[in-house]
A and B are shown apart, each in its own frame.
Chain A
Amino acid sequence: NAGVTQTPKFRILKIGQSMTLQCTQDMNHNYMYWYRQDPGMGLKLIYYSVGAGITDKGEVPNGYNVSRSTTEDFPLRLELAAPSQTSVYFCASSLQSLNTEAFFGQGTRLTVV
């Protein structure tokens, strides 16, 4: 199993551009999450999903959109990139419920200039 795979690993965007951060998992986990990590601020939840077709907002959803058309994939969309979205983005998944062990991808480092 590859676990949780994120692409790309690095990306530089110009202000106003859009992009999709890809996340896929091969563990058949129902629950998937997007977090962002800013220096000294820990991880903040952007969006999460409890199964295909179901998504919900986390603590910092503004400026982002998600979809969950399959169990495996949970892409994160930035429509109009802003410097405040410069961050490291982590996708994670868990098997049994929201509060059980989360498995993380390696992260996408995004810089908006």
Chain B
Amino acid sequence: GQNIDQPTEMTATEGAIVQINCTYQTSGFNGLFWYQQHAGEAPTFLSYNVLDGLEEKGRFSSFLSRSKGYSYLLLKELQMKDSASYLCAVLDSNYQLIWGAGTKLIIKP
């Protein structure tokens, strides 16, 4: 079966750095996405990785290791507005997005 695992909840302090991990087992791989979702709102696109390595975009970076079936999202200089759920999703061999359940990130002052 297809499976995406990520922690259910994480807590971090304003101004700090947090790393949210995602491991996946899917039938084929055509890229990995990270989305941010605030409570009661739709997911918004953050990043896309298809090759191994680190993609940096401002305060957010995303890393991928295809051989390990592993990705992480790194958030720096945390702000209160970063409190949200972060969803990892993999595009499988049928170009279907397989979603994780999301990691709820709580930022404390």
A, B in one complex:
no
Interface residues of B, Cβ cutoff 8 Å to A:
none
